[in-house]
């Protein structure tokens, strides 16, 4: 079994472009739909929120699982256009079903359990 996982491969942080969010919404992604609904609610109530949302071309919400099939398909379909303003999204394939994302200044890597060195106490 192998699973694909989306991660950010540059400094800056994981984020999706508006095009990626729209792609996900069109395909029924619940996290993207909820995000857009929240942004629309903020924009309707607050001019500053509307300006902020329209000024930036990215979505940095961590709500979507990095192994979500639609997210993976989105990044495969849109390529570089899937990443937000400070993101370069890549896909890692893991061997099992467990992973964690390690991050330093927004630059991420996907780590599997067998890649971690454990110290055993006597």
Give the pTM.
0.86
The helix, strand and coil proportions of the chain, stated in percent and rounded to the nearest 5, come to: 40, 20, 40
* 82-109 core/surface letters (b: 16 or more CB in 10 A; e: else): bbbeebebbbbebeeeebebeeeeebbe
pLDDT in tens, 36-57: 887 777 766 766 666 666 555 6
**Angle at which helices 30-45 and 18-26 cross, to 10°:** 120
Q: How far apart are CA 77 and CA 90, in angstroms?
A: 12
pLDDT tens digits, residue range 1-15? 789 999 999 999 999
Can you tell me the mean pLDDT for 94-121? 93
């Amino acid at each position: 079994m192998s699973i694909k996982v989306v991660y950010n491969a540059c400094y800056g942080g994981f984020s999706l472009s508006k095009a990626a969010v729209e792609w996900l919404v069109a395909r029924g992604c619940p996290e993207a739909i909820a995000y857009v609904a929240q942004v629309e609610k903020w924009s309707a109530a607050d001019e500053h929120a509307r300006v902020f949302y329209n000024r930036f071309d990215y979505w940095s919400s961590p709500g979507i699982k990095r192994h979500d099939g639609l997210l993976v398909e989105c990044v495969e379909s849109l390529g570089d256009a899937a990443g937000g303003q400070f993101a370069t999204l890549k896909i890692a394939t893991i061997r099992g079903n467990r992973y964690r994302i390690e991050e330093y200044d927004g630059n991420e890597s996907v780590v599997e359990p067998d890649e971690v060195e454990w110290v055993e106490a006597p």
